[in-house]
Each structure stands twice: as structure tokens, then as C-alpha cells.
Amino acid sequence: MSELNLKYLTLGEEGFDQNLADMLSWESVSDGDMQKLVADIIHRVRKEGDAALMDYSAKFDHFEVESMDALVLGAAEIEAAFHRLPEDQQQALQTAAQRVESYHSKQLSKSWQYTDEQGVVLGQKVTAMDKVGIYVPGGVAPLASSVIMNAMPAKVAGVSSIVMTTPAPKGEVSDFVLAAAYVSGVTECFLLGGAQAIAALAYGTETVPSVDKIVGPGNAFVATAKAQVFGKVGIDMIAGPSEILVVCDGKTNPDWVAMDLFSQAEHSHDAQAILISQDGEFLKQVEESVKKLMPTMERADTILESLNSRGVFIKVDTLEQAIELINTIAPEHLELSIDEPEQWLDRIRHAGAIFLGRYTSEALGDYCAGPNHVLPTSGTARFFSPLGVYDFQKRSSLIGASAEAANELGKVASVLARGELLSAHAQSAEYRIND
């Protein structure tokens, strides 16, 4: 194993801002060649439908099928996967699903309306989307939690059809993933991966239905495909690598902090783990914990590569400075491993999810606390929010004018329309003016 080579920065030192910006910088690997390849895949799926999907299944997943029936799992098959699991996994999935459902039920928006002083009925009609697509990666980790986090908000929103796609390399698919689909309300499952799955969900084929929105993580091909079909369908976000920022006052067990950093670093070599403390000696203690614990990790090589390429330990003088750095970084996951973390919440403006106190590991949020683990990355917490029920609901404006209101408001609309030189707009309002 290579040697650990963590980066250290000190707030206030010469070049700090640029060095931090360099560490935070991440650009998508979706270059021109990938853009063209994905565009070709999407075009072929649109043109050839199921035939293209079966061909790509053989080419990319080494899963040759004679008909689409082999790529479709029905409700009975999804349920059977749940019952094949050990009882502890069944219970864990059900507990996580119940907690996520309970939390997201608080996010439900409801329709509303009122009548203003002019007698105009105004309001908003909230409606769930009809059909949503959930993409679940099929790599080395069976991401059952991703199924729950993406499907459950849609279920709570009232989406009637939740379609899942997940690749099946050599025809194999994880029972753990399928069981998560069962407890989350997934209604259909297709064994498809990559850009071809996104294309099928966006445009539909003879077998795969087109959906209104596509959510879920994926590799660069999937992210590129989601970007290319956006507009035909909605998407959640274009996510970058996983991130964690831990702010610690030096009073937490350094082994805990090291393992929390590992929890994101193990995702990929591009993942980012950042530790900020006003205690320089504590930073060194955590580094020693990292060195001690690293050899015990199953994904040690990935963790080491992540920490060496994008990990950074930052020394500040005060917690106030740490809080300002949080707002600059806008992290996906933020752990406040400090005394009385609630007192700092009003000053934190940008973070995807905030974990309060020394006992709240980021892993609780990933799996079973309740809030969604689909979070904005790469600084986009400045303008994006966690995935939620609101992402699967649409809002329609309501306007209802009486004859009297049309008479009074029509005069205002007429003046504004003629000011914009739009005479048809003006006359549309003026026809209803009766004095």
C-alpha cells in the first residue's frame, strides 16, 4: 500500500484561498468523446427501442437475452427477493423505509386557495407526478439505501408508478437491492444500466415506459445521459463525488473522526474528506488514527487514494472561522462534532445535511435516520436542496375572476399590455371591461 500523504492548510497563511479552491475543484469527466458516445446510445434507443436495449445488455453487461422478458422483473419476483434475505436484513430494510417514510411525510405540500379583496380566487394546486424512474447503480456495492432514498419520497408524494432500472452484470442482480425496492413501493423493475437505461426511461420503448422524472446516482455515462435527456424529462441533479466535512473541537475520539472520514472516502478515489479544527494537535491525532485504521479497511486502497488526492486537514484559530469556511465549502455532509452544535445552526447557510454532535455519524443519515441521503455536491448546496417529496410534486396556479374583478383588474392589465406593445393581450382584458 502507498504512503499516506494528507494535505494540511492553515487559515490565514499565504495562498490559503487558492490552495483551498484547488483542493475543492472538481470537473466532470464527461469529455467530448463521452458526450458523443452517450448521444449515440440515446439516439439508437430512441430509434430501435427494445432491440437496442438487448444489444447493449450483451455488450456492456455481458448479459445476452433473447427477449425483453428476461430484463423485466415483476412484483412477485421483487417480493420473493425480500423473503430470501436473512431476517435481520429484512428488519433493517423495513425500519429504514419506515423512518424515511415518516420523515418525508412532513414535507408534503397541499393545495391551497383564498379570495382576495377584489373577489379574485387565487391559489395553488399541488399534484404528484404520474411516473418516475429510479436509477440504481450495479457496481461493487449493492446500494439498497439508494433505492429507499430515491423511491420513498416519490411514494409519499403520491406517484402512482415508480419504475426502477438497475444493471445485471452477467445476469446477476442483488436480492438486497430488489428487497429495498419491495419495501419502498417500486412498481416495476428493469435490468438495465448505463446511458441506455436513462434513454429508455426518458423516451420509452416497446417494453419500458417513459417517465416524467429520472432520479438516482450513477457513473459518468449515467450523469451525462441524464444531462442530455433533461428537458424531455426532469432530473434530480448532476451529482459529483461524495464529500464529508467534519468540524471538531478536539474533544471527540480521533478514531471516530477518522472512520467518519473513511465513510465517504471509500466511495471512490474522487471522494473528498475534510477535517477542520482549532486544535492542531488533534489534527495530528486523527492522522495517526487514519494510519492505524487504514489497514483494517476492506476498501483501503480506495480510501488512501481519495485522502491523498482530495483529503485536507485545515487548522483554524476559532470555531467562528470554521463556520465561515463551512459556508465557503458548502459541503454535501457536514458533521459538527463539537459542544452545543445547535447554537451554530443560524450561522450555517450552505450544507446538504448537517449532523449534530459527536454521536451523530454520517452513516446514520446514509441509511436510517430519516432525512434523504441524495444531497447536493461540489458546492451546489449553495442553491440545491436534498431530494425530497417536493421533487415529485408539481404546482399549478389557480386564478378565478368574477365579472367585477375582471372589470377592475382588466384596466390594469390593459395599461400594462399596451405598455409592452402587446395589443391582443390588452384587448383580451378589455373585452371584459364593462364601464
pLDDT in tens, the chain (435 residues): 679 999 999 999 999 999 999 999 887 656 788 999 999 999 999 999 999 999 999 999 999 999 999 999 999 999 999 999 999 999 999 999 999 999 999 999 999 999 999 999 999 999 999 999 999 998 667 899 999 999 999 999 999 999 999 999 999 999 999 999 999 999 999 999 999 999 999 999 999 999 999 999 988 899 999 999 999 999 998 888 999 999 999 999 999 999 999 999 999 999 999 999 999 999 999 999 999 999 999 999 999 999 999 999 999 999 999 999 999 999 999 999 999 999 999 999 999 999 999 999 999 999 999 999 999 999 999 999 999 999 999 999 999 999 999 999 999 999 999 999 999 999 999 999 998
Q: According to the annotation, is 116 in a ligand binding site?
A: no
Residue spans in the chain of domains classed CATH 3.40.50.1980: 7-26+240-369, 32-109+133-235
Q: Is 64 a residue of the active site?
A: no
What are the C-alpha distances in Å from 259 to residues 155, 244, 270, 291, 374? Answer: 33, 11, 17, 11, 21
Q: According to the annotation, is 372 in a ligand binding site?
A: no
Q: According to the annotation, is 333 in a ligand binding site?
A: yes
Quote the pTM value.
Answer: 0.92
C-alpha cell at 419: 405598455
Q: According to the annotation, is 196 in a ligand binding site?
A: yes
Dihedral sign for Cα 188, 167, 203, 133, please: positive
Catalytic residue among 266, 333, 335, 373: 333
**Distance from the Cα of residue 368 to its chain's centroid:** 16
- 3 state DSSP class of 310: helix
Half-sphere exposure of 426 (CA within 13 A, CB side): 10
Q: According to the annotation, is 373 in a ligand binding site?
A: no
Q: Under CATH, domain 32-109+133-235 is a member of which superfamily?
A: Nitrogenase molybdenum iron protein domain (3.40.50.1980)
Catalytic residue among 188, 287, 332, 362: 332
Indicate the CATH number for domain 7-26+240-369: 3.40.50.1980
Q: According to the annotation, is 242 in a ligand binding site?
A: yes
Specify whether the CB–CB gap between 310 and 240 falls below 8 A. Answer: no
Q: Is 43 a residue of the active site?
A: no
